[in-house]
Structures are given as C-alpha cells and as structure tokens.
C-alpha cells in the first residue's frame, strides 16, 4: 500500500476556480509503470471517504462513488482512440460523436445540449500560446452567437516547468445557458492539449465531477497530461 498527499480538486469549489492547495489523502497502489491500479479512496481531513473506486493502468473503471458536493455514482469505461494517442476514462452515458488522431468529442446519450466533452491533442496551431488559447475560448462562444456572462482564467505551473491554464465560462443564447470547464497545457513535445466540458447549467455539478475526473487521468502518447504529483502551483488569475 502506498500513501500520498494527492493533488485533487475540491468538488465543492470547482465550478469557478481550480483549487491548487486543498490536500486530501488518497490511498491506493501503483503498478510497475507508476500508474494507479486497483482500489483507491480519497478522504477528507476527518477521514471521511469522499471518492472511491477502481483504477486500471491509471484510468478509472467500473463504478465510482462520490459524496461531494452531492452523493452520486458513475460507471467509468477506459477509452483509447484508434491511433492509441489518446487514452482516458469516460462515463458510460457519453457517446463518441467524432473521433480522430488528434480530436475526440463525446456527447450525452440523452441530448447534445446536456453535455459535451472534447479532448484535443495538438490539433490547434502549435505556435499558439496559452494566453492566445484563452482568448480563443471566449471567441468561440461569440462566433456561435452566445453572450459571455462570466469568464475566469487561472494560470498554473508545475515543478517540472509545465504550464496549464484553467478556464471557466458561463454563456447564454436564448434560453440555453452553458457552463464550460476547460484546461489546456503545452506538452514536452510542444503540443497544445486541451480538455473541454460544456454542459447545461442544470447539470453543472455532475459536469464538474466528470471534468475533474477526466483530465487528471488523460494520457497523451502514453504520457500523463497532468501529473498531480508534479507540484502544481497557482501563478496568477488572468
């Protein structure tokens, strides 16, 4: 058994900001490639289990139970695209609507307006930097005739020198109000990788749980996109 203070994301506060200092105790095992395997649980400062489930080679599989901010459970499946360049865990109620070597898109089986998850691996211009990328996130809403009601961005840097930008956007068009969670980073191979989840405001709690369960377990070309043990530090709010 290996114990660690794991950088996980406070599901109570994750709607507007990506917390970087709230430490929870994660307990579980790693395989020979230093990926989570078998049963894992995460507890709060009082020892209460807040998340629990099974890992397989670094991705969540089977039933996972969450108790923050509300009790819920998801069935997670391992996903690997056809070129094996993107690997992560996807909840069983999302279906693939587009799949390529550098871009995959999932939508809710119960209606596209409920939830959409996008994972991009270097399909954008490699010359783009994170600040330019942030601007493109808001511009995409304007291009689709949405009015941006709220937009917040935070820059993070890891001990190894990697940078990530987290974006939270609230936008409205007619009666549809969308909440967007987004994170992007430049990999060691100089590719821009992004994870974006958009959902109807009615599903914001469930959407946040999915978003903050996908990108920490995302592997690009077999490398983990964001390793929470790489000592994430908040740099600035943009």
The predicted-structure confidence for 51-104, as pLDDT tens digits, reads as follows: 999 999 999 999 999 988 789 999 999 999 999 999 999 999 999 999 998 999
Which residues on adjacent β-strands are paired with residue 95?
107
Range in 9-18, 61-70, 102-111 the model is least confident about: 9-18
Q: Does the pLDDT of residue 2 top 70, yes or no?
A: no
The CA-atom distances, in angstroms, between 3 and each of 24, 26, 134, 180 are 11, 7, 36, 33
Q: What is the pLDDT of residues 134-187, one digit of tens each?
A: 988 888 888 889 999 999 999 999 988 999 999 999 999 999 999 999 999 988
Q: Does the pLDDT of residue 219 top 90, yes or no?
A: yes
Find, among 69, 52, 49, the residue nearest to 61 by Cα.
Answer: 52
Provide the pLDDT for residue 6: 35
Beta strands 223-224 and 219-220 are antiparallel
> How many beta carbons lie within 10 A of that of residue 143, not counting itself?
9
Q: What's this model's pTM, rounded to 2 decimal places?
A: 0.88
Provide the pLDDT for residue 127: 57
Q: Edge-to-edge strands of the sheet including 72-80?
A: 2-7, 23-30, 36-43, 49-56, 59-66, 72-80, 86-91, 219-220, 223-224
Q: Give residue 189's pLDDT band: very low, low, confident or very high (50, 70, 90).
A: confident
Provide the pLDDT for residue 19: 44
Between 36 and 238, residue with greater pLDDT: 36
> How many beta carbons lie within 10 A of that of residue 223, not counting itself?
12
**Which backbone phi and psi does 45 adopt, to 5 degrees?**
-65, -20
Note whether 108 and 94 are within 8 A (CB). Answer: yes
| Neighbour-count burial of 120, counting CB atoms closer than 10 A to its CB (0-12 exposed, 13-18 middle, 19+ buried) | buried
Domains detected in the chain: 2-237 (3.40.1000.10)
Element (H, E) at 55: strand 49-56
List alpha helices for the chain, DSSP H: 130-143, 204-214
Which residues on adjacent β-strands are paired with residue 167?
153, 182
Q: Does the pLDDT of residue 20 top 80, yes or no?
A: no
Provide the pLDDT for residue 152: 93
Q: What distance in Å separates the CA atoms of residue 17 and residue 157, rounded to the nearest whole number?
A: 15
Q: Does the pLDDT of residue 8 top 70, yes or no?
A: no
Find, among 170, 168, 186, the residue nearest to 178 by Cα.
Answer: 170
């Amino acid at each position: 058994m290996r114990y660690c203070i794991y950088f996980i994301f406070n599901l109570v506060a994750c709607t507007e900001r990506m917390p970087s200092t709230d430490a929870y105790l994660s307990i579980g095992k790693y395989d020979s490639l230093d990926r989570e395997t078998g049963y894992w649980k995460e507890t709060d400062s009082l020892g209460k289990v807040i998340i629990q489930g099974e890992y397989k080679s670094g991705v969540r599989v089977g039933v996972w139970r969450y108790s923050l901010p509300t009790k819920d459970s998801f069935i997670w499946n391992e996903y690997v695209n056809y070129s094996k360049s993107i690997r992560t865990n996807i909840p069983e109620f999302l279906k693939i609507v587009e799949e390529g070597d550098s871009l995959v898109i999932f939508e809710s089986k119960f209606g596209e307006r409920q939830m959409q998850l996008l994972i991009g691996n270097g399909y954008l211009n490699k010359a783009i930097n994170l600040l330019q990328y942030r601007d493109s996130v808001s511009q995409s809403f304007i291009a689709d005739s949405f009015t941006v009601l709220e937009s917040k961005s935070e820059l993070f840097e890891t001990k190894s020198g990697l940078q990530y930008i987290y974006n939270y956007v609230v936008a409205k068009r007619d009666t549809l109000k969308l909440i967007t969670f987004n994170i992007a980073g430049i990999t060691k191979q100089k590719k821009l990788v992004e994870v974006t989840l958009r959902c109807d405001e009615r599903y914001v709690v469930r959407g946040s749980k999915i978003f903050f369960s996908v990108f920490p377990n995302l592997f690009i070309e077999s490398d983990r996109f964001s390793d929470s043990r790489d000592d994430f530090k908040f740099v600035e709010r943009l």
